[in-house]
A = this chain, B = another copy of it.
Amino acid sequence: MTMDLNLRVRISDLYAAYAACLDDGRYEDWPEFFTEDAWYRVVPRENHDRGLPLSTLSLKGKAMMKDRIYGVESTIFHAPYYQRHLIGVPMMAMHDAHTASVEVNYCVFRTKRDASSEILSVGRYLDRIEIGDHLKFTQKFCIFDNDMIPNSLIYPI
Among residues of B, the one whose C-beta sits closest to the C-beta of A83 is: B145
Cβ–Cβ contact A12 & B148, under 8 A = no
Give chain B residues whose Cβ lies under 8 Å from the Cβ of A13: 91
How far apart are the CA atoms of A147 and B150 in the complex, in Å?
Answer: 19
Q: Output the residue of A85, A89, A117, A123 with the most chain B CB within 10 A.
A: A89
The answer to whether A145 and B109 touch across the interface, beta carbons within 8 angstroms, is yes
Interface size, A (range): 35 or more
- Whether, in the assembled complex, A71 has its beta carbon less than 8 Å from a beta carbon of chain B, the answer is no
Give A20 to B147 CA distance when docked, in angstroms. Answer: 20
Residues of B within 8 A of A145 (CB): 82, 84, 109, 111, 117
A-B contact pairs, 8 of them (CB 8 A): A8-B9, A13-B91, A16-B104, A20-B124, A107-B109, A114-B147, A114-B148, A117-B119
Task: A5-B5, A117-B122 given; name 18 further pairs at CB < 8 Å.
Answer: A16-B91, A19-B105, A20-B91, A20-B103, A84-B107, A84-B123, A84-B124, A85-B105, A87-B88, A87-B89, A107-B109, A111-B122, A111-B146, A116-B119, A116-B148, A116-B150, A117-B119, A117-B146
